[in-house]
Structure 1
Amino acid sequence: MTYPLPNASTDLSGQVALVTGASSGLGVRFAKVLASQGAKVALAARRVDRLEALAKEIRDAGGEAVAVEMDATDADQMIGAVAKAEEALGTVTILVNNAGIPDAQRAHKMSVELIDRVLDINVRAPFILSCEVARRLMAADKPGRIVNIASAAAFHYAGNGAALYSVSKAAVVRITETLSVEWSRNHINVNAIAPGAFESEMMDGMLERMGDIAQHFPRKRIGNPAQLDSALLFLVGPSSDAVTGTCVRVDDGQGSR
């Protein structure tokens, strides 16, 4: 299902955004929304064919976008992705750390390899990428915005066989809080969005495994990605100049059940 892009409300002209996990799901939506507001967008993920198709779609709509191959378990590729984005578009002033994976197993059944992979992608990657973007912003003496995609599971674990995912997203919230303090004087705002259950490829896989979880939510529905637009645009735009270290929960009341 597709949703219309938001009406222009946040001028991001002159901004360069790097969106990770941009080959599917919420990453695609975030990239399109940022481009629709005038940002140049670097799309990072492993599936280059999907990135190239999205970059072309953005360019055909009048935007500017490039595809950057990146494996979120490889530190050299992550650092290289930031460098390639900068070379193609300019200093990255907006970073959306969206790449993430669910663990999809009960804790005692997880292999060490799966534990390492979840933590590498969900925790290690956003930390490394944030540090690399911040280092370059400081060198260029520019302000910046970093938005980490956490999850409602960071605050409320429903016991659905994704314990490590919940732990990893709680770590993302803490990364947001600590780095916001470290870089506040450099005018680099670090915030997070904690979505509930929203339509995406990841959610499709979870629904196949867990069944109709929406029946347990207060509004008995899965959210649509467009409902995240306003939170993203607020956190990357000028209106949030004094907002840093904050996690915006957009969970449709799911965490209150």
Structure 2
Amino acid sequence: MPDLFDVSQEVVLVTGASQGLGRQFARVLSAHGAAVVLAARQTAKLQSLEQEIRGRGGRAAAVEMDVTDTASISKAIDSAEAALGPISVLINNAGIAVEKLAVDQTEADFDAVINANLKGAYFVTTEVARRMIAQRRQGNIVNVASVLGLGVMKSVSPYAISKAGLLQATKAMALELAANNIRVNALAPGYIDTDINHEFWSTPAGERLAKRIPQRRVGAESDLDGAILLLASNASRYMTGSVVTIDGGFLLT
């Protein structure tokens, strides 16, 4: 039987690939045979990941991309396609958070989060989709949202707003692009232990938060491997506009 989760023929663009979940997604997809385009603003980190993947026999290309700058998006995708060929799978993973109560968030804070997490993903999607349509190729877009697009916590209101918007963008794009054989789905992770927040989970506040998760633990980056392979591969061929939640049951509380 053919492998439903085969991605060996795919050219996958991962935004925010320099660290955390983006880096993990790139590693996993590469390990399963995909050619991966690593996009982020921090190119030094990208180059070490590119060398790591190539050292294991994988195909990878690092490109500098600022998702808040549409000219940067277009230039980066030109470079990506010159290196590895047309993009067949896009993983919109780039994003930031500013932790302050709403009354302390500045206009600059709000704009930075919305521009990176929502506007950026929207315009990377439209740029990639236009190329897929012009080339008459089927395509696949995965938006990395969050459980905070479905529920809320204190001190990250712009982030929660941006991720809720990204879930709605996923559905709107899925509806519009289905006729072009382009699927759009979202991944909604819960609390995941990454480089950025690793120290937090050993603090009293981190331990209290972990205990609120029904599975009684924080997720590991590898807990998302199965879901990203599902959404990036033909295994999800009849899914579009869907949201896959991976949170240890967090939203149940």
**TM-score bracket for the superposition, by shorter chain length:** over 0.9
- Which of the numbers 149, 153, 167 marks the counterpart of 1:154? 149
Matched ranges for 1:1-257 at <5 A: 10-159=5-154, 161-204=155-198, 211-212=206-207, 213-257=209-253
* TM-score normalised to structure 1 length: 0.93
Deviations 1:67-117 (A, max 9, x none): 101122212111211111111111000000001111211111011111100
Amino acid at match of 1:75: T
Whole-Å separation in 2 of the counterparts to 1:46 and 1:140:
28
SS of alignment partner, residue 61 of structure 2: strand
Whole-Å separation in 2 of the counterparts to 1:53 and 1:124:
28
Cα deviation for residue 50 of structure 1 reads: 0.6
Name stretches of at least 5 consecutive residues in structure 1 with no aligned partner: 1-7
Aligned length in residues: 249
Moved over 6 A (4+): none
Whole-Å separation in 2 of the counterparts to 1:152 and 1:81:
29
Whole-Å separation in 2 of the counterparts to 1:108 and 1:240:
41
Whole-Å separation in 1 of the counterparts to 2:196 and 2:88:
27
Whole-Å separation in 2 of the counterparts to 1:166 and 1:93:
29
Aligned-CA RMSD value = 1.6
- Aligned identity (percent) is 39
* TM-score normalised to structure 2 length: 0.94
CA 1:46 to 1:206, structure 2 compared with 1: closer, same or farther past 3 Å? farther
Cα deviation for residue 38 of structure 1 reads: 1.1
Alignment check: 8 A CA contact 2:145 2:166 kept: yes
Whole-Å separation in 1 of the counterparts to 2:14 and 2:237:
20
Whole-Å separation in 1 of the counterparts to 2:173 and 2:200:
31
Alignment check: 8 A CA contact 1:21 1:27 kept: yes
Cα deviation for residue 196 of structure 1 reads: 0.1
Name stretches of at least 5 consecutive residues in structure 2 with no aligned partner: none
CA 1:135 to 1:123, structure 2 compared with 1: closer, same or farther past 3 Å? same
Whole-Å separation in 1 of the counterparts to 2:116 and 2:123:
10
Cα deviation for residue 241 of structure 1 reads: 1.1
